[in-house]
Structure 1
Amino acid sequence: MKRLTILAAGLLMCVMSFAQQALWGVPQVISPEIHENNTVTFRLKAPKAVKVQVTGDFLPTQKIKTPYGEFDAPGFADLTEGKDGLWEYTTSNQLKPELYSYSFIVDGLKTIDPNNVYLNRDVASITNIFIIGGERADLYKVNKVPHGTVSRIWYNSPTLGMERRMTVYTPAGYEASGKRYPVFYLLHGMGGDEEAWIALGRTAQILDNLIAKGKAKPMIVVMTNGNASQEAAPGESSAGLVPPNTQLPKTMEGSFEMAFPDVVKFVDNNYRTIKSKSGRAIAGLSMGGFHSMHISKQFPDLFNYVGLFSAAILPNKDAKSPVYENLEGKLKVQFSKKPALYWIAIGKADFLYKANEDYRKLLDEKGYKYTYYETGEGHIWKNWRIYLTEFTPLLFK
């Protein structure tokens, strides 16, 4: 008996040891530290480093050129080395309310802040995040309000010939209410996936808070994967732990648009929805705005509310899908059916600004009614969160 007791005690200590192993790396440095005046201090222990910088969207931007155009990119600030190799930087200005992302650069190597466990993945980039509360940014926080449910659901797409995954938000009380709800289909941008709007866009927090304030109708939000060659987000499918990539096949060549009725059919068959045009909205950012535009005109009886957030407009010259044929004819049919809302938003510095301006000129020439919302800055998540908070309260009135 004594031997059994000693063995049991040993096993218990072993289990406790493994259970506690995650605590061995508890950070000893506070970073970021948000001060009462909304300045922020960043710290990194790097005694062998020669140069440490911080980069993030709280800093003044700089222009960079890419194959997709010229973008505003976050600037840089130098940290100062102090005692025992502790590097530090405090913002010179008070930061406005917003959700911010940042990274460190140590001797030329970009890395995360090891003292901040809060991270987001945007395609293949991992950054730390923090929130300065107040004003609109309070919508991005988890507040003491009734909370909806976020589920990852697999569905069959006969058109694409595969099982695929979507993320679905159902509002607080959905499970027990017995009611039917309108559905908002919310689409991500190039390189994104069904996780993007939940993680980077703060969709669940925004919907919870807007609904609780009575500023938005309770609704189901469906966020499916817009890359027609993918089952699901990287690491979440049978493809395994593949690197995220923006250069995916079947993104803007018509496959996703033609398969979208599969998504609507599945949602209508598996959720308590309002199964009519008046109970459906579609919107998306960048590539998702492109998809929203072309899906809504291809199937003009599906959606009564359409939102284009920093949208790409025209397909590449190589895209031969019938989805993109007869643009003006399809728009004529769509607008003849009088959508309740056609909403276009973009930032002044967005590389797609000119394309959106030209598209609005076409709509103006034809006398098609739409609502336009313009912000500063460019092709960034800050703007897309703003657009979501502005567009959602207009739905299903």
Structure 2
Amino acid sequence: MKITHLLMALVFATCCFAQENVNFGQQKEIVSPEIHADNSVTFRMVAPDAKKVQIESDFLPPSGFAKGTADFKKDADGIWTFTSDKLASELYSYQFIIDGIKVHDPNNAFLIRDVSTIVNVFIIGNGKADDYKTKDVPHGTVTRRWYDSPTLKMSRRVTIYTPPGYETSNEKYPTLYLMHGAGGDEEAWIALGRTAQIIDNLIAEKKARPMLVVMTNGNANQTAAPGESSAAWTKPIFIQPDIWSGNTEKAYPDVIKFVESNYRVKKEKASRAIAGLSMGGMHSLTISANNPDTFGYVGVFSSAQLQPKDAKGDVYQNFDQKLKTQKEKGFKLYWIAIGNTDFLFKQSNEFRAKLDAMKFPYKYMESQGGHTWSNWRDYLTEFAPMLFK
């Protein structure tokens, strides 16, 4: 009997604890973020003992390279509140700052890692951000695969998107190889870049051809994103030590070989594209110049486009001649895009001047804004429909 009573007590305590965890309406629910009909957004944080609460977000005017901040106001119940101005359609990221300490919004379960920072995110729709919302359309499949890289003497992880219907068809597809920027890895484009949603929606709207998208890890000293390799829980860093070694570019044929040996893809030049942002844009233009028979389409997004003079990698040597050879061999599209306040804008102009002097054909898009995921998602949305025509 005592055992029965003890078990009943434990069950009752467990149920009470579970009810407390899921609230069951016993406490006032805090909604944050709350998106209003006019696209302003209210954020809330319960912190009755805090002296100061702020929000740091990319919808606020930046301070140099840092995101902007704004102050919350506290009510009598210890709830801090901030309401934004009307926001344009976009995916936004943010954090709270409580007495100088950055924290997540505990009422928003949607989080993304950006280099070593975890941020909350939300989407304002009814505009361009609808392109990277999950819609009621056929969806592709995203997988993480490991492949051998003989060049780097390691196994490496890659993220691969296959289009809707890939598993049930016998069709062969073209491939877009997509590269991240400094601090990123094979998770960057699928998470921050919303690649799967963008390509799903473009295919559904018949704006883009069904394609594979291969998102590689551009850090030659890594096997995989932090937490996904035998290096375990290492903190991500922004600039890897061998960034100008040329090893990423030299090893790229390894991933192409893996994809073309394991997936139903077309293997001719006109069915391969390569693109990247920032550091990945540098990788893309370098890889394509060193492999002029491989890619029919090249996308260079907000790129660091001229190597430093002390770059020793073989892939950077005689680069002007490699560009001339690439021009002579021909390609379908060479597309450059950058924001007009990007810190690499001057370098982009210098690179285009070099191409102009060579009469190297390219198309150019200049957008508003700077070195941001907002621009890079837009560039992917613009670039993908131009491929494989």
TM-score, normalised to structure 1's length? 0.92
**Is the 2:342–2:371 Cα contact (8 Å) retained in structure 1?**
yes
Aligned mates of 1:29, 1:351 — CA distance in 2? 39
Q: CA deviation at 1:121?
A: 0.8
1:216 maps to 208
Is the alpha carbon distance of 1:240 and 1:358 closer, same or farther for their aligned partners in structure 2, counting shifts above 3 Å?
Answer: same
| Residue of structure 2 in register with 1:74 after alignment | 67
| Cα distance in 1, alignment partners of residues 196 and 16 from structure 2 | 36
| CA apart distance, 1:139 | 1.0
Distance 1:263 1:47, change over 3 A: same
Establish whether residue 56 from structure 1 lines up as the match of residue 48 from structure 2: no
- Output the CA distance in 2 between the equivalents of 1:4 and 1:161: 61
- C-alpha deviation, 1:18, in angstroms: 9.4
> Does residue 1:86 correspond to 2:79, yes or no?
yes
Residue of structure 2 equivalent to 1:265: 257
With over 3 angstroms needed to count, the CA separation of the structure-2 counterparts of 1:261 and 1:7, relative to structure 1, is: farther
How many residues get paired? 387
CA contact (8 A) 1:347 1:353 kept: yes
Instruction: Identify the residue that residue 40 of structure 2 maps to in structure 1.
Output: 39
Q: CA RMSD in A?
A: 2.3
Residue of structure 1 equivalent to 2:240: 248
Report the alpha carbon displacement of residue 110 of structure 1 after superposing the two structures with TM: 1.4
> How many percent of aligned residue pairs carry the same amino acid?
57
Tell me the equivalent position of 1:30: 31
Cα offset, 1:106, TM superposition: 1.0
- Paired letter, 1:209: N
| Code of the aligned partner of 1:320 | K
1:1-397 mapped onto 2 (5 Å cutoff) = 23=22, 28-63=29-64, 71=65, 73-91=66-84, 93-397=85-389
Counterpart contact for 2:306–2:351, Cα < 8 Å: no
CA distance in 2, matches of 1:302, 1:11: 66
**Aligned residues of 1:58 and 1:100 also touching (Cα < 8 A):** yes
CA apart distance, 1:314: 2.2
Amino acid at match of 1:258: K
Write out per-residue CA displacement over residues 297-350 of structure 1, whole angstroms, 9 at most, x where no aligned residue: 001111000000001112233321110011111001101122100000001111
Which SS does the other structure have where 2:245 is aligned? coil
Q: Per the alignment, do residues 102 and 339 of structure 1 end up closer, same or farther by CA in structure 2, a change over 3 Å counting?
A: same
Report if the CA contact (8 A) 1:253-1:315 is conserved. Answer: no
The CA distance in 1 between the partners of 2:19 and 2:229, in whole Å, is 31
- In structure 2, what is the Cα distance between the partners aligned to 1:356 and 1:27? 52
What SS does the corresponding residue of 2:159 show, helix, strand or coil?
A: strand
Residues 74 and 84 of structure 1: is their aligned pair in 2 closer, same or farther, counting only changes over 3 Å? same
Name which of structure 1's ranges 206-215 and 130-139 shifts more when overlaid on structure 2. Answer: 130-139
The gaps in structure 2 that reach 5 residues or longer are none
Range 103-112 or range 18-27, more displaced? 18-27
Distance 1:193 1:10, change over 3 A: farther
Q: Which amino acid is the alignment partner of residue 167 of structure 2?
A: E
Structure-2 change in CA distance of 1:290 and 1:87 (3 Å): same
The code of the aligned residue for 2:372 comes to I
Give a deviation string over 1:142-177, Cα, whole Å, max 9, x none: 100000000000000000000100000000110011
Q: Give the 3 Å change call, closer, same or farther, for CA 182–21 of structure 1 in structure 2.
A: farther
